[in-house]
């Protein structure tokens, strides 16, 4: 077995004689990730200070890197890799240790701590998000989630659908009668009677309205699955609600499952299963549904499991239901974890510049309001503010601050990839007594093309009678430059491209400037473009 190995500096060389690679199949750890032997095919666990954090499959989740294969550090784990940490890499099922020692990820003198703001250990979940698992949560949190699961299932059945425990929650119940220790939420599903994807979508939205009317916060993944946010003593958990339906003799269970041999008797009539000492509604044959969901080896615990959905099935589900869930992998944990707490409360230079251009009583709609730093400052300066953001944790945080300080600002979730929300928001803003000022700082470079094009649609709907759209975004000259908040999805845009898109959609540019010194933040001075656009009356 490799001995303890302490390293510092740039990426490790692939040196078979190094202390961390003294046995065949041993692993190397460096700033890029974990490097395993080229022929390695096992499930690999990665631990920090003895605490399991992440698992990957050496054959599936790696890429060729010299004589080895590299499993890159998950994007949402990278911000935690500061200082020196004790890393253990081992095969899950053989428990063979492949690496065990300290590694210095940078020159800072503190120890790596992968914990949330309350000091609780975090893990990389199946979606790549950083989560506090059930193993680290108190009984009060488990009880609150179970109460909500029972309530959600009852309300769904009351709305006329056959709803039941599913996915990881069902898997834990069948295996051990408990939530899976490394899991972090609960899953329920229902079998729709509809055979048309359009009707399945309508039904899912109707069920979401039932949850909203019951007082729950919701967040939609697609037109056929959504998340119910459940308050609890430790900050809140979630229940994912997935549609199951049959189209042309194929059974689909959102978000990735399909079966051409499905029998209705697998689910109906509904039964019960014990979970954490409670009887919860379950499918008629839980084992059969779990085999459809996870395959024949579903009984073997594998935290690296990923759905391997055939391209034709994924394409069909994307076309029917998805297209409105882009890039949440970074922003969801950003606002639930400690990263957002590092954002300054002071207004951005762009916010101060916009304030100087507009009357003190101008109503402002901040699209992509994030932590609310600019929205709340606008409100303190006397503006009536509506803050819109993709992530419920962001709007909830900002809304609570506004309420606490008695500010004229309200916040709501808004998804630029959901055409229903685009049309609803555009219509609402268009019918205001006076057209608003739209504000989008560091917004459009965080969007896929579809989301950006929908943004222009909103602007075109609500600015025909006046008002302006203020935009600030990173340009191509900022690509490759180290960022204060690390690397995640950014689409660096050339100003000419953005201007052309706005003009093609009926807008005109009233002001344009680009350069450094406009958006200085701590040690970062990005190259940005500022635009002010209006739409034809």
Q: Tell me: the pLDDT tens digits for 277-298?
A: 999 999 999 999 999 999 999 9
322's tokens? 């998805």
Q: Which residues pair with 186 in a beta bridge?
A: 239
| Nearest Cα residue to 491 out of 478, 503, 504 | 478
The reported pLDDT for the residue numbered 484 is 52
Handedness of CA 81, 478, 336, 281 (dihedral sign): negative
The reported pLDDT for the residue numbered 222 is 86
Contact between 153 and 147 (Cβ < 8 Å): no
- Residue 101 is classified by DSSP as E
How far, in Å, CA of 370 to CA of 390, rounded? 8
Contact between 190 and 164 (Cβ < 8 Å): yes
Contact between 217 and 229 (Cβ < 8 Å): yes
Distance of CA 192 to the CA centre of its chain: 27
- Cβ-count burial 270-306 (b if 16+ within 10 Å, e if not): beebebbeeebbbbbbbebbbbbbbeeebeebebbbe
Per-residue pLDDT of the chain (537 residues), as tens digits, is 333 333 333 333 333 333 333 344 589 999 999 999 999 999 999 999 999 999 999 999 999 998 999 999 987 888 899 899 999 999 998 989 999 999 999 988 889 999 887 788 888 987 777 888 777 777 888 898 999 999 999 999 999 999 999 999 999 999 999 998 878 789 999 999 999 999 999 999 999 999 999 999 898 888 899 999 887 666 667 899 999 999 999 999 999 999 999 999 999 999 999 999 999 999 999 999 999 999 999 998 888 888 889 989 988 888 788 755 555 555 555 565 555 555 667 899 999 999 999 998 999 999 999 889 999 999 999 999 999 998 887 888 899 999 999 999 999 989 888 888 899 999 999 999 999 999 999 899 888 888 899 999 999 999 999 999 999 998 888 776 665 555 556 788 899 999 999 999 999 999 999 999 998 877 788 899 999 999 976
Handedness of CA 303, 304, 308, 314 (dihedral sign): positive
Q: Which residues pair with 102 in a beta bridge?
A: 86
The reported pLDDT for the residue numbered 1 is 34
How far, in Å, CA of 295 to CA of 291, rounded? 5
Contact between 513 and 499 (Cβ < 8 Å): no
Is 150 buried (19+), middle (13-18) or exposed (0-12) by CB count in 10 A? middle
Which residues are CB-contacts of 396 (< 8 A; sequence separation ≥ 6)? 217, 411
The reported pLDDT for the residue numbered 10 is 35
The reported pLDDT for the residue numbered 116 is 80
pTM of the entire predicted model: 0.63
How far, in Å, CA of 29 to CA of 47, rounded? 12
Query: Could you tell me which CATH class the domain 134-322 is placed in?
Result: alpha beta
Query: Could you tell me which CATH class the domain 7-127 is placed in?
Result: mainly beta
- Residue 40 is classified by DSSP as -
Contact between 85 and 123 (Cβ < 8 Å): no
CATH code given to domain 329-535: 3.40.50.150
Collapse the DSSP code of 154 into the 3-class scheme (helix H, G, I; strand E, B; otherwise coil) and give the result. Answer: helix
CA torsion 97-98-100-104 (nearest 10°) is -160
Instruction: Report phi then psi at 145, rounded to 5.
Output: -70, -40
Domain map of the chain by residue range? 7-127, 134-322, 329-535
Contact between 180 and 134 (Cβ < 8 Å): yes
The reported pLDDT for the residue numbered 3 is 35
Helices (H), 159-278: 167-176, 197-213
How far, in Å, CA of 340 to CA of 79, rounded? 12
493's tokens? 């845009």
Pairing of strands 162-165, 237-247: unpaired
5's tokens? 């190995």
C-alpha distances out from residue 199 to 193, 243, 314, Å: 9, 11, 19
Which residues are CB-contacts of 312 (< 8 A; sequence separation ≥ 6)? none
The reported pLDDT for the residue numbered 75 is 78
Query: Do the domains 134-322 and 329-535 sit in the same CATH topology, yes or no?
Result: no
The reported pLDDT for the residue numbered 141 is 82
Contact between 6 and 101 (Cβ < 8 Å): yes
Distance of CA 162 to the CA centre of its chain: 28
Which residues are CB-contacts of 77 (< 8 A; sequence separation ≥ 6)? 53, 54, 114, 124, 130
The reported pLDDT for the residue numbered 7 is 39
């Amino acid at each position: 077995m490799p001995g303890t190995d302490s390293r510092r500096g740039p990426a490790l060389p692939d040196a078979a004689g190094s202390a961390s690679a003294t046995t065949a199949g041993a692993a190397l750890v460096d700033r890029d990730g974990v490097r395993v032997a080229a022929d390695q095919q096992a499930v690999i666990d990665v631990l920090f200070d003895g605490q399991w954090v992440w698992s990957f499959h050496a054959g599936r989740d790696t890429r060729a890197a010299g004589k080895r294969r590299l499993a890159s550090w998950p994007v949402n784990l990278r911000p935690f890799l500061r200082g020196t940490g004790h890393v253990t890499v081992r095969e899950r099922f053989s428990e063979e240790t492949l690496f065990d020692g300290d590694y210095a990820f940078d020159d800072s003198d503190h120890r790596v701590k992968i914990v949330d703001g309350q000091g609780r250990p975090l893990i990389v979940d199946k979606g790549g998000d950083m989560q506090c698992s059930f193993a680290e949560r108190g009984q009060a949190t488990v009880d609150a989630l179970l109460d909500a699961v029972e309530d959600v299932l009852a309300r769904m059945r009351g709305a006329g659908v056959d709803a039941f425990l599913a996915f990881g929650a069902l898997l834990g119940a069948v295996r051990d009668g408990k939530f899976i220790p490394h899991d972090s939420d609960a899953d329920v599903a229902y079998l729709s009677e509809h055979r048309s994807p359009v009707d399945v979508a309508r039904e899912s939205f109707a069920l979401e309205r039932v949850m909203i009317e019951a007082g729950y916060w919701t967040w939609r993944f697609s037109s056929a699955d959504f998340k119910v946010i459940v308050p609890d003593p430790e900050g809140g958990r979630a229940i994912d609600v997935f549609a199951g339906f049959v189209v042309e003799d194929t059974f689909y269970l959102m978000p990735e499952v399909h079966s051409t041999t499905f029998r209705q008797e697998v689910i109906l009539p509904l039964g019960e299963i014990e979970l954490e000492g409670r009887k919860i509604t379950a499918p008629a044959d839980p084992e059969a549904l779990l085999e459809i969901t996870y395959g024949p080896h579903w009984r073997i615990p594998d935290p690296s499991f990923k759905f391997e959905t055939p391209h034709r099935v994924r394409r069909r589900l994307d076309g029917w239901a998805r297209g409105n869930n882009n890039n949440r992998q970074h922003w969801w944990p950003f606002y639930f974890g400690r990263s957002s707490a590092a954002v300054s409360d002071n207004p951005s230079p762009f916010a101060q510049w916009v304030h100087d251009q507009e009357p003190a009583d101008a109503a402002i709609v901040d699209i992509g309001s994030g932590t609310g730093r600019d929205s709340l400052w606008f409100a303190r300066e006397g503006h009536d503010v509506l803050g819109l953001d993709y992530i419920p944790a962001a709007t909830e945080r900002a809304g609570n601050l506004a309420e606490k300080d008695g500010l004229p600002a309200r916040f709501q979730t808004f998804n630029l990839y959901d055409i229903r929300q685009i049309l609803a928001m555009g219509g609402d803003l268009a019918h205001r007594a006076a057209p608003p000022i739209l504000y989008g700082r560091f917004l459009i470079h965080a969007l896929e093309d579809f989301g950006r094009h929908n943004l222009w649609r909103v602007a075109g709907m609500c600015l025909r009678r006046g008002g302006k759209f203020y935009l600030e975004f990173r340009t191509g000259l900022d690509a490759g430059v180290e960022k204060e908040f690390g690397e995640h999805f950014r689409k660096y845009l050339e100003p000419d491209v953005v201007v052309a898109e706005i003009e093609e959609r009926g807008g005109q540019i009233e002001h344009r400037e680009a350069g450094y010194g406009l958006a200085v933040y701590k040690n970062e001075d990005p190259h940005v473009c500022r635009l002010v656009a209006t739409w034809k009356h």
